Amino acid sequence: MSEEFTITDISKKLGGFGLMVNPNAAEFIIKSDLDTNIIIDAVSDSIDSGSTIDIDTIKNIVNDIDDTPDTDKNTNDDIDKEDVGNDSDKDDSNNISDEELNSLLDDNTDMSGQEELDETFKSDTIEFSNEEDEEDEEDESDNNNKDDLKDDLDEEPERSTRQEEFANEKDQEMGEFINSEFMNPEQSLYQLENVIEDTEEETTIVNRKETLDERFPEWCDTMFNRKLPDIKPRVGVTKGYDVEGDITGESRGTGDFEDFRQIFKDRHDRLTKLLGKRAGNVHTVSDINKRTHGGKNITVVGLVWSKFVSNNGNYFIELEDPKSNETLRTVFTDEDMKDVFEQVVPDEVIAIRGTLSDDGGIVFGDNEFRKGRPPIMFPDIPRKRSSDGPDKTTKAALISDIHVGADEFFPTYWNKFVDWVRETPTIEYVIVAGDLVEGIGVFPDQDEELTIVDIYDQYAMTGKMFDQLPDDVQIITSVGNHDTVRLAEPQPTLAEEFTKYFSDNVDFVGNPVNVNIDGANILIYHGMSINALAEVVPGADADEPTEVMKLMLQKRHVAPVYGKNVRLAGEEKDYLIIDTVPDLLHCGHVHKYGQDKYNGVNLVNTATWQGQTSFQKSKGIEPDVGYWATVDLSTMDVEKYTVDDF
């Protein structure tokens, strides 16, 4: 049995030989005890190009292989294409033969050969039957040239399977950095364990907070040995808050591949339901692949498996149903689709409306809006008209990325924030979107840029800093990639060994979470995916984080792209889906202030309290230091503050 193959892999491999395969036949190949490559080679050797292979054919071929002497079978592991058949026709390049193209594009499967092509492409126009039109939409014609489309169908995007990606991650060696900025989670944990071991004696200090003054006199003098302004009484409007979607204490993942697959299945199912509300009657890729004839206008929904622009300028998107591993290609031929095509990212769930080819092999996408609906639809959020927050004015202060412990943390800036909160009675909440501390082992040679090299001291110092905020201000802290939790998202919150340095008015939550304060709903997400989205969407820029945060809302997912710098933890469900439409999305991570609104939802990125690091300098990144925002929970009005104002 070859576990690394999926039905899609088998389909693509046999497609390279001009063969089509029924899903149950492909499944039989995968489940066979024989080597999958041997079966594929035998099939390609014995079946004529252009044929569709059913399960009986496969069973006969497997029986024939079983009947051959073992000595012959053993040599098949290293078998060459030359040994199997015609070397010029049977390579792995996924070439699609004229016969397959015909079967993909023909209106009438009873026709044959050139007659079919001539019929399909007469006057260089592809026409589709509109019988049984499920959405009462008109016939579409497409001016695509046959040869252009054939070339396009021959193209194959470079994309490894998720299984390969997952295996590659698991194979990361200790001590080998992924890139110049981050270590992988195992490496971070390894280094963390070493540091904890090295500082075991120090961690036994009972009252670590009280000795900070002796060990870090400069910072402590600046922040703690000064006259603080009197605390003004809070307005006391809110009664408390609830948290939704927190992975803390709920993680069930065991780290195996099935857990990992499960999050994509859950993502597909839940976002398909959301898309159904927007797009009407939607069909999964598996539904479409079961059809024996096309010619219909349909809306298909699926996980984006790959996308690419062909040499002829056509836009291809391959959708996947993660339950069955089946895929379906869609193509758009109109240049006007470029902008929306560029917004599509791998691993997100979208709906595409178009016309199904007669054999159901490909969807030719519509090129225009119909009934107000675009041909490519994202789950998106409905327009938010008002929140259910409290009646009277009360506010939350929003901050992130304090990075306590880093050389470049600015104690004098922090003092200004502390003083302002103490003197502002409307501030009932302080919400921190992660990266409380600088952490350890986050990037190579990080210890050379640390004032506080002990992770416990970093949290103890943060706890002492928070002690200066009023006791009756509720502080809610999420976590980021610099905090001492797993790097893979969703992230649970900090362990008790770190939270014990904080007072009772500080609550700890995971990343991401929805915090509902008397009806005002704030989605807190640290923002690791901002870089990933900015990398794959042309025009998006991590320096303008709210533009990227709009994409999260459109895609109803805070981290739709798997890979890049975002790691996902296998869980029973996808915690990163935006189920509840928030009144405000609060992110950090990129150390740039941003404030905007999308469909009535406020977007705020609250920058940082850490000056430019050597890494940022090498990349030309200028952080926004000493920024915060307030949100009035009764009106959801957002205001920006900087230390320069004081």
State which of positions 422-461 bind Fe ion (CB under 5 A).
435
Query: Which amino acid, 354?
Result: G
Nearer to Fe ion, 237 or 590 (CB): 590
Query: Of 351 and 629, which has the nearer Cβ to Fe ion?
Result: 629
Smallest separation, CB 588 to Fe ion (Å): 6
- Which amino acid is present at 19? L
Q: Is residue 597 within 8 Å of 629, Cβ to Cβ?
A: no
Nearer Cβ to Fe ion (144/491): 491
CB of 603 to Fe ion, least distance (A): 17
Nearest-angstrom CA–CA distance, 481 and 188: 11
480, 510, 512, 560: residue in contact with Fe ion (rule CB under 5 A): 480
| Residues in 515-544 that interact with Fe ion by CB under 5 A | none
d(CA 308, CA 479): 36
CB of 176 to Fe ion, least distance (A): 22
Q: Contact letters (x/-) for Fe ion, 152-181, by CB under 5 A? A: ------------------------------
Q: In 509-643, at which residue ranges do the beta strands (DSSP E only) sit?
A: 513-517, 520-524, 584-587, 593-598, 601-606, 627-632, 638-642
Residue with tokens 């899903």: 23
CB of 623 to Fe ion, least distance (A): 9
Closest by alpha carbon to 466, among 492, 496, 437?
Answer: 437
What is the pattern of x (binds Fe ion, CB under 5 A) and - over residues 537-576? ----------------------------------------
Q: Using the minimum distance from each CB to Fe ion, give the nearer residue, 348 or 435.
A: 435
At 260 the three-state DSSP class reads helix
Least separation in angstroms between CB 608 and Fe ion: 6
- Per CB under 5 A, 589 contacts Fe ion: yes
Q: Given the complex with Fe ion, which of 34 and 192 has the nearer CB atom? A: 192
Residue 283 binds to Fe ion (criterion: CB under 5 A)? no
Q: Which is nearer to Fe ion, 288 or 559 (CB)?
A: 559
C-alpha torsion 517→384→304→478, nearest 10: -20
Type and span of the H or E element at 546: helix 545-555
Residues binding Fe ion: number (CB under 5 A)? 5
3-state secondary structure of 210: helix
How many CB atoms sit inside 10 A of residue 190's CB?
A: 15
Return the number of the residue (247 or 479) whose C-beta is nearest Fe ion: 479
Please identify, using beta-carbon distances, which residue of 262 and 481 lies nearer to Fe ion.
481
Return the number of the residue (162 or 526) whose C-beta is nearest Fe ion.
526
CB of 528 to Fe ion, least distance (A): 7
Q: Is the Cβ of residue 473 or residue 542 nearer to Fe ion in the bound state? A: 542
Residue 326 and residue 285 in contact, taking contact as beta carbons nearer than 8 Å = yes
First to last CA, the chain: 69
Q: Report, in Å, the least distance between residue 432 CB and Fe ion.
A: 11
Q: How far is the CB of 433 from Fe ion (least distance, A)?
A: 9
- Alpha-carbon span 572 to 243, nearest angstrom: 19
Judged by CB under 5 A, the residue of 401, 483, 571, 574 near Fe ion is 401
Which of these segments, 137-145, 210-218, 585-593, 634-642, binds Fe ion (CB under 5 A)?
585-593
CB of 561 to Fe ion, least distance (A): 17
Query: How many DSSP H helices and E strands does the chain contain?
Result: 23, 23
Nearest residue to 198 via CA among 536, 456, 518: 456
In terms of CB distance, is 470 or 480 closer to Fe ion? 480
> CB of 566: closest distance to Fe ion in angstroms?
12
Q: Which span (144-152, 187-195, 297-305, 472-480) binds Fe ion, by CB under 5 A?
A: 472-480
Coil vs helix vs strand at 477: strand
Nearest approach, Cβ of 25 to Fe ion (angstroms)? 48
Q: Examine residue 408 and tell whether it contacts Fe ion (CB under 5 A).
A: no
What tokens were used for 149? Answer: 């489309």
Distance (Å) of CA 288 to CA 15, 68, 99, 298, 359: 19, 39, 21, 9, 10
Taking the CA atoms of the chain, what radius of gyration do you get in angstroms?
A: 29
Query: In this structure, are residues 389 and 579 in contact, taking their beta carbons and an 8 Å threshold?
Result: no
Q: Which residues bind Fe ion (CB under 5 A)?
A: 401, 435, 480-481, 589
